[in-house]
A = this chain, B = another copy of it.
């Protein structure tokens, strides 16, 4: 199957058994890995239709417009797919505070693995999640 998927010019996203595809968000300006989430067909459709990244929240079991609460919307510049079409790369500009992570940091990848420990890379929160997510 991969033989046909990897050289075709037809977009055939391979959603998994739960109807989801992994979406990797990178900064459209410098390529930095920002976050990883999942899209169902509806989230993917809304992403293209609105130009703002939408995902499917597995924890809340609902559609999720990224940044709706914090203002840190993801303005999508380009979407790519990988060789076997089971992962999407979403190149985006983070609006608002510029934080893709719910902790207020620019990227979700702010800790380096060192044995059984994690070392914080020094990526500081750009907003206070306690204040932003409080209703």
Docked CA distance A81–B107 (Å): 11
Q: Report which of B7, B88, B109 forms a contact with A80, defined as CB distance below 8 A.
A: B109
Residues of B close to A102: CB separation below 8 A: 2, 6, 83
Cβ of A119 within 8 Å of any chain B Cβ, yes or no, is: yes
Residues of B close to A113: CB separation below 8 A: 11, 79-81, 88
- When all copies of this chain in the complex are counted, the total is 2
Give the most central of A78, A79, A118: most B CB within 10 Å. Answer: A118
Docked CA distance A63–B5 (Å): 23
Q: Residues of A within 8 Å of B, CB-based: how many? A: 44
Q: Is A121 in contact with B80, judged by CB distance below 8 angstroms?
A: yes
Which residues of A83-101 are within 8 A (CB) of B?
Answer: 83, 87-89, 101
Docked CA distance A111–B13 (Å): 12
Q: Is A81 in contact with B118, judged by CB distance below 8 angstroms?
A: yes
Q: Is A109 in contact with B121, judged by CB distance below 8 angstroms?
A: no
Docked CA distance A115–B44 (Å): 11
Q: Report which of B6, B8, B108, B117 forms a contact with A11, defined as CB distance below 8 A.
A: B117
Which residues of A line the B interface, CB within 8 A?
Answer: 2, 6-11, 22, 24, 26, 30-33, 35-36, 59, 78-83, 87-89, 101-103, 105, 108-121
